[in-house]
Chains A and B, each alone.
Chain A
């Protein structure tokens, strides 16, 4: 993907950039669906999510019955002593669920969080990797 300058219009600003998560939660605060890229390479499936404001210790990744669930919470405490004057976006936690097919080697899933971007590397099971077939 090449660099592109974002064209901004007034109407674009009207639609919220962050979509709110529909599921009901037990913790207070809004939940948003993080913007996510999923790309596939020969050996891995890479899931990249934007979770600004989330610290490593507040990310919960669960894999159960082929369902990969990501729950990333933000820390509201720095906002405590601040009075909002002008708002252009809302802040909240992030959650998203994916169904992982059985071609993934679930034991070797790797997660990394840097600059508010969560990267999950899901290695493909060896049998699912492309195999070049030699012609005899």
Chain B
């Protein structure tokens, strides 16, 4: 084996290991990446992102979504009201007020961001902004 390829190989493994150690989290070192409500799952769909959050019992009108640049904000509240004269046997669900801001690795066009709330699931479609898409470079 050539010494060069050995060196390159070592370097590559080192870089991979460093990348793994530094960028294990999707949001890198952003403070919003952990321990916040609602938990979200993020999926990739042909270069665009799809964000899904479980928000059962939240009314559509109590849910606010704002988008700008590469940042999305999910805010809202869930109220639980069983009326008066009740006694609790079990209380596991909690009423909550939430406000979460996520910074994503792509820029999206705020006008193109589409949100759906159905069956207690919030799905936000974040389509990559035109300016974020790769451009073909012609070699001169």
Using a CB–CB cutoff of 8 Å, the interface residues on chain A facing chain B are: 1-6, 8-13, 17, 35-42, 45-46, 48, 50-55, 79, 81-89, 91, 115-117
Contacts and interface: CB of A to CB of B under 8 A. Distances in A.
Interface residues of B, number: 46
A17 B56 CA distance: 13
Tell me what chain B mostly uses at the interface: helix, strand, loop, or mixed. Answer: loop
Contacts of B37: 6, 8
A45 B36 CA distance: 33
15 contacts: A1-B80, A1-B81, A3-B77, A5-B96, A35-B93, A37-B93, A39-B86, A46-B86, A50-B93, A52-B120, A53-B121, A79-B43, A86-B41, A88-B40, A116-B121
A83 B36 contact: no
B97 A6 contact: yes
A37 B80 contact: yes
Nearest to A117: B57
A37 B88 contact: yes
A81 B58 CA distance: 27
Nearest to A116: B120
B90 A38 contact: yes
B49 interface: yes
B109 interface: no
